[in-house]
Structure 1
């Protein structure tokens, strides 16, 4: 069959099912996300494979993995679905019948610092837009972006192999810090060595994240023995609760706890964190352009990021003298 004839037979439902299976790596999870049955998803994907004359997925014990042909087809399918959604949203806004929709992804650790001020600016220009925020770990955001379920993401620069087909625009660099509740023994300035951290519950970012790697490198550099037990958490609200209601030491990006630090709820431990700054930025698909509403939100995020950098540059950094304890370990 000629591909020109096949093109006319490809429907929106084919692309939807294909992208959902590619995103979730599972027919079952794809069906759940689309609110249809698994047989319906399998049949639709099989129809698309027959129309295109290629196999799009390898199916096995580990789920559905896109073939080489599936990987080649994915960005084009994603671009088609994204363009159609943008067109429908713009018509809805022009007619005043319904609000347009903007779907973006963002790391939970930076959402509180960026979203409220950016949304305030954005809503002043686009009041009739439904903004859907998807939070998740960086790898999850990148997969959702490639699958076309979000228009852009605010995340961290990943390894080159994960950034294929994506562009990254740095907004700011975010340092990692360690915080405890006000009144915590480590916050009383008793000159305790950093190795004292092992005497308290430690809350770390999830394994495999960039900030987890930074935290582990710091603990090793400070001479803290491998932790026998700790809590892994991505949720900012859960990490906050663990720090406020326990004697936990929470390793977290600075922007996630600015409010709590400013209001004296949490205290930053005076440990050396030099070199832990990780770039945070806008991540987009290289093969698509942002929609008008997406472009407006991106502009708002850029403004907020610029103000943050200007404010940080205008404030003299607080001097933290970190003394060395026994064995070269810094003191708290």
Structure 2
């Protein structure tokens, strides 16, 4: 088929259905996300395959998997949809009659601390924008980003094979800590032997996530033997409830519990070994550019991230400064002051 003829026959609905099936790996979930029927999705994808003259999906018992041709076509379909959305956003801001829409993804463990100040700053510049915020595991956000269902994500740097076609810009480091409720038996334990962990529910991030690796490292450094029972999850609200109501020991990124720590609801366990901070950053597709609305939100993200890093540095500085100043003072013999007093 001639390219010009194919170009004229490919419609926006074709691209929408193609990207939805590619993202969700099946017709049913794609239909639900688009609020249309399964037969309509199947028919639209079949039309697109007929127009292009290639097979875009291998269909089987486990859903729909993109073919080599589908993988080649996906970034261009996504770029086309993204470009159209950018144009709509520009008109929405110029006319002031319609709201622009921005779809982004954020890790649930950093969303509660990061999203409120970012959206507050963003709304001052773009007051008429619908922000659709998707939260999920890092791997899920990367798949959504590649499929074009979100414009960018705030997540963690993944393995190289998962980052193909994506760029990562570090915003800040996020340490993993262990927290319990205020008044918890472990909170007042001096030295905190690993054996004291027995008898309490342990809540850790899901297996396969980067922060789970940090949790395992902390437990190993603490001398805790392999756990025979624990709870795996990313839900911040459920983790908070387990810590407050069930006396659970919760391994969680610090930003997820900043409010609870500041208000004394949760306290940080004095572990004998501190975990290293995991980088959290802005993840974007390499083959597309954010919309004007997206750029504005990215600028707000960068500003808030710089403020967080500066606040962390200021909070840590007094203790170090005090320590540096104390040493030379204490090193002065007491008789020196007595001699000065006599003079």
Specify if TM > 0.5.
yes
The alignment partner of 1:109 has SS state of helix
**C-alpha deviations, 1:59-87, integer Å up to 9, x for none?**
11221111111111111101111111121
Aligned twin of 1:173: 173
Moved more, 271-280 or 161-170: 271-280
| 1:201–1:248 contact (8 Å) kept in structure 2 | yes
**C-alpha deviations, 1:121-163, integer Å up to 9, x for none?**
1111111111111111111111111111111110000111111
Aligned twin of 1:309: 309
Aligned twin of 2:336: none
Deviation for aligned residue 1:221: 2.9
| 2:222–2:271 contact (8 Å) kept in structure 1 | no
The alignment partner of 2:134 has SS state of strand
Deviation for aligned residue 1:223: 2.2
The alignment partner of 1:133 has SS state of strand
| 1:178–1:251 contact (8 Å) kept in structure 2 | yes
The alignment partner of 2:150 has SS state of coil
**C-alpha deviations, 1:256-297, integer Å up to 9, x for none?**
111111111101011145443111000111111111111111
Deviation for aligned residue 1:220: 2.4
The alignment partner of 1:256 has SS state of helix
Aligned twin of 1:35: 35
| 2:10–2:51 contact (8 Å) kept in structure 1 | yes
Segments of 5+ residues of structure 2 without an aligned counterpart are: 321-343
Change beyond 3 A, Cα 1:273–1:77: farther
4+ residue segments displaced more than 3 Å: 272-275
1:84-123 correspondence to structure 2 within 5 Å? 84-123=84-123
Distance in 2 of aligned mates of 1:29 and 1:131:
22
Aligned twin of 2:45: 45
The alignment partner of 2:9 has SS state of coil
Structure with a larger share of its residues in helix: 2
- Give the greater-gyration-radius structure (CA): 2
| 2:27–2:64 contact (8 Å) kept in structure 1 | yes
Distance in 2 of aligned mates of 1:199 and 1:276:
27
